[in-house]
Copies of this chain bind each other. A is one copy, B any other.
């Protein structure tokens, strides 16, 4: 260890897509950043970076791109975070703060946790929470997520039918995330359970390419990964 004070790692949520849903704090941190880091789908532009592009001072900072292979096994993706963490460590150790851009919120199903796991033991980490896709999708659907003493359950689309059904049977409000190619299976399950009529669908919330419609009406041939199903059931279903 040298005597120099290490930099701080900022995990900064940039919101769901609309650049105006950035927080004041995130905007200021990005405008003043000397080092910015972000993941990107290998070969494509970083979505997180595109949301905040107007706040990045041209030639004002070094950028660390972490190109995540999209269809790879977990191991390959993890090696990208290993390499990214190594580059970030070099800056932190030299006393330089690093701002990591995170889609939505850093701790709501975000890849920031891979960096957090690698670095939070050794460096000061500050989280700047952002508008999560969870609340953004509810807002665009114009439907509350949950109120009063409702239970709200977030279920990942890749869960198998048995596990999904066990949760759905308990009642309350539900959000199914990462729907993508699982849509036909999940929609059939919800129909069997009599829950289809109350199910809304949102993809790419708050972006110009956004789609908001009843789940029953979705064309299942092209459902992106960034899609959600929301089922709102008021009435505190846990009270039997």
Q: Is the CB of B156 within 8 A of A113?
A: no
Q: Any chain B CB within 8 A of the CB of A64? A: no
Q: Any chain B CB within 8 A of the CB of A145? A: yes
Q: Which residues of B contact A163 (CB under 8 A)?
A: 238-240
Number of interface residues of A (CB under 8 A): 63
Q: Is the CB of A120 within 8 A of B142?
A: yes
Beta-carbon contacts under 8 Å, A7-41 to B: 11, 13, 15-16, 18-25, 27-28
Known A-B contacts: A127-B139, A166-B170. Give 12 more (CB < 8 A). Answer: A21-B24, A107-B139, A107-B144, A108-B145, A109-B148, A110-B147, A130-B131, A130-B135, A148-B156, A149-B178, A151-B153, A154-B154
Number of copies: 2
Alpha-carbon gap, A135 to B131, bound state (A): 8
What is the minimal beta-carbon distance from A23 to any residue of chain B, in angstroms?
5
Q: Any chain B CB within 8 A of the CB of A66? A: no
Q: Is the CB of A139 within 8 A of B131?
A: no
Q: A20-B23, A24-B22 known; A142 and B125 CB under 8 Å?
A: yes
Alpha-carbon gap, A20 to B129, bound state (A): 11
Q: Is the CB of A23 within 8 A of B25?
A: no
Q: Which residues of B contact A155 (CB under 8 A)?
A: 151
Alpha-carbon gap, A22 to B153, bound state (A): 26
Q: Is the CB of B13 within 8 A of A23?
A: no
Q: Which residues of B contact A128 (CB under 8 A)?
A: 21, 139
Q: Is the CB of B113 within 8 A of A23?
A: no
Binding site for B on A (CB under 8 A): 11, 13, 15-16, 18-25, 27-28, 105-110, 113, 116, 120, 125, 127-132, 134-136, 138-140, 142-156, 158-160, 163, 166-167, 170, 178, 206, 238-240
Q: Which residues of B contact A20 (CB under 8 A)?
A: 23-25, 28
Alpha-carbon gap, A15 to B144, bound state (A): 16
What is the minimal beta-carbon distance from A160 to any residue of chain B, in angstroms?
8
Contact partner, A21, options B18, B25, B125, B206, Cβ 8 Å? B25
Alpha-carbon gap, A23 to B150, bound state (A): 27
What is the minimal beta-carbon distance from A165 to any residue of chain B, in angstroms?
11
What is the minimal beta-carbon distance from A170 to any residue of chain B, in angstroms?
7
